[in-house]
Amino acid sequence: MSTLATAAMTTIRGRVVSVEKETHDTFTLTVTPAEGQALEPFEPGQFNMLYVFGVGELPISISGDPEDAERLVYTVRSVGQATHALVSRRPGDVIGVRGPFGTSWPVQAARRKDVLVVAGGIGLAPLRPLIYHVLRHRDDYVRLLVLYGARSPRDLLYRKQLAEWARAADTQVLVTVDYGGLSWRGHVGVVTTLFRQLRLHPAETVAFICGPEIMMRYVIRQLEARGLAPTDIYFSMERNMKCGAGFCGHCQLGPYFVCKDGPVFSYQQMRPWLDRHEI
Amino acid sequence: MESKSLEEVLREHPFLEGFKPEHVRKMAELALEVQFGRDQIIFREGQESGLFFLILSGKVALEVSAPGRIFRVQTLEAGEELGWSSVLGEGGKHFQARSLETVRALAFEGSRLRQACEQDPSFGYALTRRLLKVVAERLQATRLQLLDVYAPRAAKLI
C-alpha cells in the first residue's frame, strides 16, 4: 500500500469529551485524541471519517474552530443507525477518526472582499469553521453576510452563536425558517427569500454555500441573477463517501471523486455536472 | 414620512426600480401612507380587501388558519409587497396578514390601480410586469418550500 493510502486508511483513537444537544435530532460531539494519539490539523470545510466500533464508519464534516488544535468538533444529525450510534456516545467513549479529507473552503479567494455564507439545515455545520476563520481574521475581509435557513424554529442550529455573530462589526446574519409557528417572530420563507434583504456587491463578493442540493441550486440561481461570477461561488457536496481518498469510487460524480476532489467545489468547476441526469 | 415626498419614497422602493419617472409619479398620486401597530390584523383570509401595499418598514406575517392552529407561511419586510391579488380585483384574500412589529407602508386601492392601467397601457404594462415578477418569485419560493428539502428524507414525495 502506498504512503498516501496508508495515511488515508490509518485510524486514530479519539475520546469523546462531550455530546451536546443542538436540536431535537442534532448533536454536537467534541473529541480529543486518546492517549498517545495526535490530531491532524484541518482546514475549514474538510471532513473526517468517524468510526463507531462495531456499527460503521461515517463521513462527518468538522464544525469546530480550525485553530483549536486540541479537539475536533462535529455536528451530527441522527437520521440512521450509524448516526444514532454516534450521537449516543458518552463522554469517555472512544471512536475511530480518519482524515481530515477533502478540499476546503478557499478563504483566500475572499480576502478583501465580502464573505457571503448561505447555509441550509445541517449545512451550517461545515460552514461554521469558515465563519470562525473570518471572525478571527476580521481585517482580511470586508463584510461577513450569513444567510441561514432551516425547516422550523426547532431545527435551528447554534442559536446563541447566530445572535453573537449578528452583533459583530460589519456582520449581517439573516435567519429564516420554512415553517413558523405563532411564537416565532423571525423571518418565514425559504432561504432564497432572504436575498431581498441583502445589498450585494457582486464583483466584491465570494459566496460559500452548503445545504441540500436542491436548495444550493436555487441559491446559485439567485447569485447568478445578482451578478456573481461562477468562479466566486463555492459549495460543498455530499455523496456516498466511503474510503475518503478516492480509491473506492463510491462518491464519483462525473470525473470527480467528491471525497478527494471535493467536497468543496467552485460552481465554475462543477457547473457541467450539476444538472446532468443519471449520474 | 420624514421629509421625503411620496414620489421620492417610491423611487427608492425596490418594487418601482426601473419605473419611468411619470409612472412613479402616477403611483405617488394613488398612494396613501398607512401604519399598523404590532400584532394588528391587516386583512383576514377571505376578506374582500382591495388594498395593495408597498412595505416601507416593519414585518408582516402571512398566515393560514386551520382548526385550532395558525400556520405562518411567509413573512414580508421593508422593500416587499403585500396583497398583490388586490390589483386583479377578483375574490378575497388568500391569507391573513398580521403585523409582527410596527409597519409603515404605502397603500393603493386595487380598483384605482386597474383604472390607471386601463387609461395608460404603458403604465399598465410596467405595473403588470412588476407584479408578475413578484408572483413568479412567490411561486418559486412556494415550490421550494413544498419540497421540504430539510426533511430527513428530502424530496421522497411519492
User: What ipTM goes with this model?
Assistant: 0.84
Q: Give the mean pLDDT of chain B.
A: 90
Preferred mutation among A188, A191, A197 to probe B, highest tally of B CBs within 10 A: A188
User: Ranked by mean pLDDT, which of A111-120, B58-67, B133-142 comes out on top?
Assistant: A111-120
pLDDT over 50 at A107, yes or no:
yes
Tell which wins on pLDDT, B91 or A115: A115
Beta carbons of A214 and B74 less than 8 Å apart: no
Please tell me the distance from the alpha carbon of residue A81 to that of residue A83, in angstroms, as a whole number.
Answer: 6
Q: Looking at residue B92, what is its pLDDT?
A: 81
- pLDDT given for residue B157 in this prediction: 44
Residue A17 has pLDDT above 60, yes or no: yes
User: What percent of chain B has a predicted confidence (pLDDT) above 90?
Assistant: 74
CB count within 10 Å of CB B132 equals 11
Residue type, A57: E
Strand partners, A184: none
Considering chain B, what percentage of its residues have pLDDT values greater than 70?
94
Alpha-carbon Rg of chain B, whole angstroms? 17
Helix axes B21-30, B121-147, angle to 10 degrees: 80
Give pLDDT, residue A3: 57
Q: Is the pLDDT of residue A247 over 50?
A: yes
pLDDT bracket for residue B156 (50, 70, 90)? very low
Asked if pLDDT for residue A185 goes beyond 70, the answer is yes
The pLDDT of residue A6 is above 70: no
Task: Return the pLDDT at B154.
Answer: 43
Q: Which conformational region is residue A4 in: left (phi greater than 0), alpha (psi within -120 to 50 degrees), or beta?
A: alpha
Residue A148 has pLDDT above 80, yes or no: yes
The C-alpha cell that represents A190 in the structure block: 425559504
pLDDT at B105: 98
A214 close to B147: Cβ distance less than 8 angstroms: yes
Q: Which residues of A touch B (CB under 8 A)?
A: 25, 77, 79, 120-121, 149-151, 155, 178-182, 184-190, 192-193, 196-197, 211-212, 214-215, 218
Nearest-Cα residue of chain A relative to residue B147:
A214
Q: Which chain B positions have a beta carbon within 8 Å of A186's beta carbon?
A: 75
Chain B residues with CB under 8 Å of A196 CB are 14, 77, 79-80
Q: Which residues 6+ apart lie within 8 Å of A252 measured at CB?
A: A239, A258
Q: How far is CA A236 from the centre of its chain?
A: 7
Rounded Cα gap, residues A266 and A275, in angstroms: 15
Q: What are the cell numbers at A233?
A: 461561488
The secondary structure element, H or E, covering residue B60 is strand B59-66
Q: Residue B82: its pLDDT value, please? A: 96
- Mean pLDDT for chain A overall: 91
Q: In Å, how far are A245, A265, A268 from A257, measured between CA atoms?
A: 8, 11, 17
Residue whose entry in the numeric block shows the C-alpha cell 470527480: A256
Q: What per-residue confidence (pLDDT) applies to B158?
A: 43
- pLDDT value at B116 more than 80: yes
pLDDT score of A4 more than 60: no
Question: How many beta-carbon pairs below 8 A join chains A and B?
Answer: 74
Q: CA-CA-CA-CA torsion for A156, A75, A238, A96, nearest 10 degrees?
A: -170
Q: List, edge to edge, every strand of the sheet that includes B51-57.
A: B32-36, B103-109, B51-57, B81-82
Q: Which of B140, B144, B146, B147 to mutate against chain A (most A CBs within 10 Å)?
A: B144
Closest CA to B142 of B93, B59, B71, B87: B71
Residue B144: which of A77, A181, A218 has the nearest Cβ? A218
- pLDDT band at residue B155, thresholds of 50, 70 and 90? very low
Q: What is the pTM of this model?
A: 0.89
